[in-house]
Amino acid sequence: MPRNKINISDEIEHLSVLNEKGQLDKDLEPEISETLLLNIHRTMLLGRRFDERLLNLQRQGRIGTFAPITGQEAAQLGAVAVLRSSDWMVPSFRETAAEIWRGRTMESLILYYSGFNEGGRIPDDMNNLPVCVPVATHLLHAVGLAWALGYRKKDDVVMTFFGDGATSEGDFHEGLNFAGVYRTPVIFVCQNNQWAISVPRSKQTRSQTLAQKALAYGIPGLQVDGNDLLAVYSAAKEAVERARSGGGPTLIECVTYRLMMHTTADDPKRYRKEEEVQEWVGRDPLPRFQKYLIENKKLLSKEKIDRLETEIKEEIQAAVERAEEQKSKLKEPLEMFDHVYAELPKNLKEQKAQLAGELSGNKKEDGHD
Amino acid sequence: MPRNKINISDEIEHLSVLNEKGQLDKDLEPEISETLLLNIHRTMLLGRRFDERLLNLQRQGRIGTFAPITGQEAAQLGAVAVLRSSDWMVPSFRETAAEIWRGRTMESLILYYSGFNEGGRIPDDMNNLPVCVPVATHLLHAVGLAWALGYRKKDDVVMTFFGDGATSEGDFHEGLNFAGVYRTPVIFVCQNNQWAISVPRSKQTRSQTLAQKALAYGIPGLQVDGNDLLAVYSAAKEAVERARSGGGPTLIECVTYRLMMHTTADDPKRYRKEEEVQEWVGRDPLPRFQKYLIENKKLLSKEKIDRLETEIKEEIQAAVERAEEQKSKLKEPLEMFDHVYAELPKNLKEQKAQLAGELSGNKKEDGHD
Amino acid sequence: MTNITMVQALNLALRQEMEKDDGIILLGEDVGVDGGVFRVTEGLIEKFGEQRVLDTPLAESGIVGMSIGMAAYGLRPVCEIQFSGFSYLSFHQIESHASRLRWRSQGRFHVPMVVRTPYGGGVRALEHHSESREAFYAHMPGLKMVIPSGPRIARALLVSAIRDPDPVIFFEPKALYRAFREEVPDEEETCPLGKSRLVLEGEDLTMISYGAMMRPSLDAASELKDKDGIRVEVIDLVTISPLDDELFVQSVKKTGRAMVIHEAPRSFGPGAEIVSRLVEKAFFYLEVPISRVTGFDILIPLFSRENYYLPNVQRIVRSARQLLKT
Amino acid sequence: MTNITMVQALNLALRQEMEKDDGIILLGEDVGVDGGVFRVTEGLIEKFGEQRVLDTPLAESGIVGMSIGMAAYGLRPVCEIQFSGFSYLSFHQIESHASRLRWRSQGRFHVPMVVRTPYGGGVRALEHHSESREAFYAHMPGLKMVIPSGPRIARALLVSAIRDPDPVIFFEPKALYRAFREEVPDEEETCPLGKSRLVLEGEDLTMISYGAMMRPSLDAASELKDKDGIRVEVIDLVTISPLDDELFVQSVKKTGRAMVIHEAPRSFGPGAEIVSRLVEKAFFYLEVPISRVTGFDILIPLFSRENYYLPNVQRIVRSARQLLKT
Ligand SMILES: Cc1ncc(C[n+]2csc(CCOP(=O)(O)OP(=O)(O)O)c2C)c(N)n1
Ligand SMILES: Cc1ncc(C[n+]2csc(CCOP(=O)(O)OP(=O)(O)O)c2C)c(N)n1
Ligand SMILES: [Mg+2]
Ligand SMILES: [Mg+2]
């Protein structure tokens, strides 16, 4: 065989259902129950408002650094909405909306962002792994979980989230390769929000799309308009069904945008133009989806949205208050020795005792005892 | 845009010029000077015989573990033959033939495999990095070197070698991605010899070819018959010229086979069938290239080869003897403190003195002093 | 009861535990069909099948990271890193996840996995195949770090490591893989993590060591007894972290003299912690400075000179005599 | 002479060195357009251009590995790992290559690179943003590990690290980035690697520390002086490895009492090596056990409790008083 083109079986496609002008491609419209549509919408709105409230708390110094999700609600919720609760979600650090959808309470998020380890507690009945800060390193955990599901003959699947920047890490590569080799039921959802802190997508890699990186692992890859809830949902559904029926992993690139700062410690004005942001404001997933629910599905109205806004505001306020209350009960520092090992080893017993001594000493010195 | 195929600009091709039956595709035959052809052949033969001799030395306990190259001579030499001496080579641990081509002496290799750090010494005028044992980790050094060449406005290029197994490591991914982003003049030569110790290529990754992994980085990828010297040469030439003229990196997958054990510590009978090996013996790059030089180019004959064999045998013998002589002069253990830092820090001075004391103490105890 | 090598003893531990618990999964490079490059997993893929013994792609972070996911689900992965010198490619998975998931999830998840990896010199190997850097892993809260010193304890310790609810890194002294045999009972034996062992009783001096250095330490002890009449107490740490300081503190309170022996580079090595614990807990019993007989603060030389790098009987004896002179 | 923060001082060092040597290349995540997440590299891409200040893809092994290749060619890369908690993704590049290439090539190549990375607690950050694990890097022969404790020395030390022919890992105490200002001369200043500094003279007790813990140590010293009349000698290690034991050994020979203060976890931490050196070289001068005031052997808690984890003035004072009581 001389110089011959090799046919790579897989194709990379781009999917869009409800475009940025709100025009619907009827042929591609997924079937989603009314309840589910309304639930998704509610969580999108909640995610948006919660972000705003967290920002506000952060600016007041009442919580620490956090990573806003505004603009990425469709990419997250379109994907997780396909999961059953017995399925697993393995988040990165920017999945507030997805976490809430999966059952994480707002107060636990506030607690976490207030620097309390207790905020990281995952309830026993929630199949999420905790937030993972080191970029891309959790993809392998998703693969291991998915392998275990297969080994235990469950038909649950694992969905994991990460950013465009994450695709440059070695662990992205090893994760997708292992998933391909073992055909594990895992859906890799890349939220390509165009920026990794100050580094634009174009500087992250020379590949034309992130979706095509799937070709390196012989697994399906698909690019979707990540601000189009219907497209994300359709892509995720296809991938989840494939995974559930033994067809193995899929890489989905959701093309979206981070409308706010990277984290509250970041100032995006340093590295990107306001015009770019405004362009993407025009592609905001929330009004687009609302328009669909109002005009196409007749499920919503201006008034209903207003009522929802009030409801959500109160819900958030209640969560903030619950979190404050919990915080006031969590001052005990000795708990920092917990959960390092199943049992406290001798050195930790000694050190815990030392700290306990110090604390009671302090109290004495402060005249509290 | 609804569900649309994305056109990925790059294509993955397979190249073969001189097939396993020795049939030549005249249209694709590269122009190579007679001297170069004969030099390449000589080094192929030398590499093969040196391997045999090293194995023999290892079995006699005169050297330690080493990694044979038999069967991979064309993949290595077809590639490095394109380089100028001012270009750089960044080897893995199975590039004896390529290293010899680039000027490494056989005695330094013997010294190295005899456990003498001095064997790793790279002469000042040889632009090779030393052998790299941790799989795939050197790809990034190649990229950094190549970046530096560009920064210093040299038109030299860097060629780096690695195996099929190496493509699974995170550093492979990071290396190719950085090379793509910075468009560094680096040629990634993957010697896909079908096995990573006992793990076959098929278990290494689900992607159909290794060459197509280039698509993930937006760089050209090409698969060649790695036992076809002319194909490897052509592919390398194209890649080197592209790199030299500012066109950036290329991934070349050489499809070849490791005919011997992984290293002398390995027993391939445990994991692969003799039939498979025999199938690949039929594709041996050496007789194939010899047939081409004899029949197509009329540059060689049975007799000439016999003479060459004798010459090479003597050359190897002389190298073995020189190495033995050098070893006998290298017993001084205090040299192990050298080259850790530019200057010996205090703790090392103390420890070196300690060892020196021990050694002279030993001599005293042994009555040598 | 059979007389077996450490390789066989480790194999026995894996085999017997895998028979009892189908949650135990082996994974790593060449651990399946090849049985591991040192043959520790030999025969296990034949017995337990490809679903329980996975030949993985060549990717250490992948191996450890995937194991963490398996463990979070409740399986008990026992993964192999072919040589400890390559464990650094998975360092972040061990530091940032294996040892933290229990803590991060506040007890919802834990990581009952074992990372097995051969370490240490003495087998005439290539670069990166002879290092001893257990100190890296000993300085990781949330992780346990253990090292056996012979076939029998290796088997018992691996059983306990597998059953432990926390992640354990299990360094196997490759110099001992086939160095000697020991009687190992067929019945189950365990070895509690976090407990060191008194191997030889003595009155004059305490030697604290572990892994491959236990042999030269014991040989040195017997030479000192024979030639100098010095009665050495020898302790095998077994668990490096969390460190059991009770036994050796007690011993040094008795002997007043202590030596730590390890092949890791001296500075910032494991010996430093042992010295510090002795200073903290037995200071007023110390009659002379504690001595560290260790590798030098250099990269372990290629094999032709590694014997000058590694602590040996002579070096230990010499150092002991010095301690007793002062 | 200007009164500047440590961030500004580091920036000054980079700027002035880059002006002098066009072989110095900065690279890392967000070091260019953004000026680094802590602004240490602010303004440098504007001044020196995209060819000398590279915003890299998000890949730590890539950053360090590429720097090694650059350094092998003769450039002087100064790469940034955004937080030391992410340096583990490049651990193998540092251990297996940066610190070994000189040795492996027997002097043909060397690796004159600097890995800058912020470490330590005290800035109310997220998980992995507050650790102090310098011990990992101190236990790597071939590598140098340094930590400045204030703006002026940070600038001088970075200049020296950049000019050093060997690879240097440069931990920046992020708690000190903007904590205080110091007068820093416009003219060049260097700070020799491998030398510790006497910061405060005293007779009764020696405190040995570095980095962010120098502040509470000095504060404790002054409280001890004012309230107890205890004259503390304070030493800033500056270089953690190769460790300069001369100054502190000398000091303890004078004072007879020593404390080591660091925020890293205690066990197998840097303090252990200092204790061991003192035992080896000043044993008979020690009047009381050396005390380690350190972080606990746990994962540093999220920020609401980190102040209970980190050594503080009170803890240091209490421990000093105990030493002087005995
Ligand atoms: C391994 C690692 N390196 C660096 C960081 C610091 N960091 C946090 S988020 C981030 C950018 C992530 O970009 P991307 O993957 O696109 O996700 P996004 O933040 O846009 O959601 C960086 C560099 C980190 N958390 N982990
Ligand atoms: C990072 C790392 N992991 C494991 C090893 C042990 N090892 C040495 S060679 C090898 C297989 C390499 O396979 P491949 O990349 O195909 O190269 P080949 O040996 O076939 O030339 C392994 C696992 C290593 N040297 N480095
Ligand atoms: Mg992003
Ligand atoms: Mg191979």
> In this predicted model, what pLDDT tens digit does every residue of A246-259 receive, in sequence order?
999 999 999 999 99
Chain B residues closer than 8 Å to A25 by CB: 2
Q: In this structure, which residues have their CB less than 5 angstroms from ion ligand 4?
A: B 163-164, 193, 196
The pLDDT value given to residue B9 = 57
Q: Which of residues 165-204 of D touch B (CB under 8 A)?
A: 165-166, 194
Residues with a CB atom less than 6 Å from ligand 2 = B 94, 133-135, 162-166, 191, 193, 195-197, 258, 262; C 29, 58, 60, 82, 86, 89
pLDDT digits (tens, 9 = 90+) for A207-239: 999 999 999 999 999 999 999 999 999 999 999
| Ligand showing the shortest atom-to-Cα distance for residue A262 | 1
pLDDT tens, position by position, D147-202: 999 999 999 999 999 999 999 999 999 999 999 999 999 999 999 999 999 999 99
Q: Choose the weakest-confidence range: B7-21, C177-191, D97-111.
A: B7-21
Q: What residues of D are in contact with residue B108 (Cβ under 8 Å)?
A: none
Q: Give the closest residue (by CA) to ligand 1 atom 17.
A: A163
Quick check: D232 pLDDT over 80?
yes
CA distance A171 to A135: 9
Q: Given its phi and psi angles, is residue C211 left (phi above 0), alpha (psi -120 to 50 degrees) or beta?
A: left
pLDDT at A157: 98
pLDDT higher than threshold 90 for residue A369: no
Q: Say whether residue A338 is in contact with chain C using an 8 A CB cutoff.
A: yes
What phi and psi, each to the nearest 5 degrees, are found at residue A173?
Answer: -60, -50
Name every chain C residue with its beta carbon within 8 A of the beta carbon of A139: 65
H/E element holding D301? none
Provide the mean pLDDT of chain A: 95
Show the tokens assigned to D14.
Answer: 């980079």
The pLDDT score that the predictor gives to residue B309 is: 98
> Taking the CB of residue C223, how many other CB atoms lie within 10 A of it?
18
User: Distances from the Cα of C212 to the Cαs of C10, C81, C154, in angstroms?
Assistant: 16, 19, 12
Contact A44, A77 (CB under 8 A): yes
**Pair of tokens at residue C110:** 């834990």
Superfamily covering domain A13-329: Thiamin diphosphate (ThDP)-binding fold, Pyr/PP domains (3.40.50.970)
User: Are residues D109 and B129, on separate chains, in Cβ contact within 8 Å?
Assistant: yes
Which pLDDT belongs to residue A361?
Answer: 81
Quick one: tokens of D60? 């730590």
The three-class DSSP label of residue B146 is helix
In angstroms, the CA A240 to CA A244 distance is 6
Strand D258-265 to D291-295 pairing: parallel
Q: Cβ(D286) to ligand 1 under 6 A?
A: no
Half-sphere exposure of C169 (CA within 13 A, CB side): 32
Sorted by sequence, the CB contacts under 8 Å of residue B326 that are 6+ apart come out as: B107, B111, B118
A2 — pLDDT class (breaks 50, 70, 90): low
Backbone angles phi, psi at A187, to 5 degrees: -110, 120
Q: Does D279 touch chain A (CB under 8 A)?
A: no
C248 vs C258: CA distance, rounded Å: 9
Residues D58 and A199 sit within 8 Å (Cβ to Cβ): yes
A residues 218-257 closer than 8 Å to B (CB): 218-219, 223, 225
Q: Which residues lie closer than 8 Å to D314 by C-beta, 6 or more apart?
A: A358, A362
Contacts of A160 in chain C (CB under 8 A): none
Q: In what order do the strands lie in the sheet with B88-90?
A: A4-5, B13-15, B221-225, B250-255, B186-192, B158-163, B88-90
Structure tokens at D270: 């840097």
How much of chain A is in helix, strand and coil states, percent to nearest 5? 50, 10, 40
Q: Which residues contact A308 (CB under 8 A, 6 or more apart)?
A: A42, A45
Rounded to an integer, what distance in angstroms lies between the CA atom of residue B343 and that of residue B346?
A: 9
Secondary structure, 3-state, chain C: CEEECHHHHHHHHHHHHHHHCCCEEEEECCCCCCCCCCCCCCCHHHHHCCCCEEECCCCHHHHHHHHHHHHHHCCEEEEECCCHHHHHHHHHHHHHHHCCHHHHCCCCCCCCCEEEEEECCCCCCCCCCCCCCHHHHHCCCCCEEECCCCHHHHHHHHHHHHHCCCCEEEEEEHHHCCCCCEEECCCCCCCCCCCCEEEECCCCEEEEECHHHHHHHHHHHHHHHHHHCCCEEEEECCEEECCCCHHHHHHHHHHCCEEEEEEEECCCCHHHHHHHHHHHHHHHHCCCCCEEEEECCCCCCCHHHHHHHCCCHHHHHHHHHHHHHC
Query: Does this complex have an ipTM over 0.90?
Result: yes
Phi, psi of B125 (to 5 degrees): -100, 10
Chain C nearest-CA distance from D176, in A, is 25
The Cα–Cα gap between D42 and D9 comes to: 12
Active-site residues of C: which are they?
A: 129
Cα D215 to Cα C102: distance, rounded to the nearest angstrom: 34
Which secondary-structure segment (H or E) carries B167? none
* Subunits close to B (at least 3 CB pairs below 8 A): A, C, D
- Residue B2: its pLDDT value, please? 55
The 3-class secondary structure across A146-173, one letter per residue, is: HHHHHHCCCCCCEEEEEECHHHHCHHHH
DSSP secondary structure letter of residue A18: B
- Which of A131, A137, A197 to probe ligand 1 with, by most ligand atoms within 8 A of CB? A197
Of B258, B283, B288, B292, the active-site residue reads: B258
CA separation for the pair D172, D61 (Å, rounded)? 20
The pLDDT-based confidence of A12 (bands split at 50, 70, 90) is confident
Q: What's the Rg (C-alpha) of chain B? A: 22
The neighbour count for residue D289, using CB atoms within 10 Å, is 21
- CB–CB of C115/C170 below 8 Å? yes
Please say whether the dihedral angle defined by the alpha carbons of residues C266, C271, C275 and C276, taken in this order, is positive or negative. Answer: positive
Q: Which residue of A has its CA nearest to C64?
A: A140
Q: What is the pLDDT of residue B362?
A: 72
Which residue reads 């109160």 in tokens? A314
Strand order in the sheet with C144-146: C53-55, C24-28, C76-80, C114-119, C168-173, C144-146, C239-241
Chains contacting chain D through 3 or more C-beta pairs under 8 A: A, B, C
For residue C83, is pLDDT > 70?
A: yes
Alpha-carbon distance C57 to C41, whole Å? 17
Between CA B229 and CA B42 the distance in angstroms is: 13
**Residue of A190, A165, A211, A212 lying closest to A256 (CA atoms):** A190
Q: What is the mean pLDDT of each run of 10 residues along chain B (369 residues)?
A: 66 92 95 98 98 98 97 98 98 98 97 97 96 98 98 98 98 98 98 98 97 97 97 98 98 98 97 98 98 97 98 98 94 92 97 94 56
> Distance of alpha carbon B320 from its chain centroid, rounded?
21
- Helix spans in B60-135 (H): 73-80, 96-101, 106-113
Q: Do the Cβ atoms of D158 and D114 come closer than 8 Å? A: yes
Q: What are residue D127's phi and psi, to 5 degrees?
A: -55, 150
Which among A145, A338, A340 is the nearest to C69, CB-wise? A145
DSSP code of residue D98: I
Give residue B365's pLDDT.
56
Q: Do residues B190 and B254 touch, judged by C-beta distance below 8 A?
A: yes
Question: What whole-number distance in Å separates Cα of residue C91 and Cα of residue C88?
Answer: 5
Residue A4, both tokens: 């011959």
pLDDT, tens digit, for every residue of D262-295?
A: 999 999 999 999 999 999 999 999 999 999 999 9
Average of per-residue pLDDT across C4-9: 98
Is residue C90 within 8 A of residue D79, CB to CB? The reply is: no
Query: Per-domain residue ranges for chain B?
Result: 13-329, 333-365
Looking at residue A365, its pLDDT comes to: 56
Cα B191 to ligand 4 centre (Å): 7
User: Using CA atoms, how far apart are residues D123 and D130, in angstroms rounded to an integer?
Assistant: 8
pLDDT tens-digit series, residues D31-59: 999 999 999 999 999 999 999 999 999 99
Q: Is the CB of D303 under 6 A from ligand 1?
A: no
Residues in chain C closer than 8 A to B170 (CB atoms): 59, 61-62, 89
Per-residue pLDDT averaged across A261-289, rounded? 97
| Cβ neighbours for B172, distance < 8 A, ≥ 6 positions apart | A173, B136, B139, B162, B166
Residue with tokens 């300081």: C245
Q: Which of C142, C264, C273 sits opposite D299 (nearest CB)?
A: C142
Q: Chain A: give the shortest CA distance to residue D325, in Å.
A: 17
% of residues, chain C, pLDDT over 90: 99
Is residue C164 pLDDT above 80, yes or no? yes
State residue A1's pLDDT score: 41
SS3 D240: strand
pLDDT tens digits, A311-321: 999 999 999 99
User: Across A109-237, where does the E strand assignment appear?
Assistant: 158-163, 186-192, 195-196, 199-200, 221-225
In order of their start, the domains of chain D are 2-184 (3.40.50.970), 197-325 (3.40.50.920)
Using the predicted structure, report yes or no on whether residue A368 has a pLDDT greater than 50. Answer: no
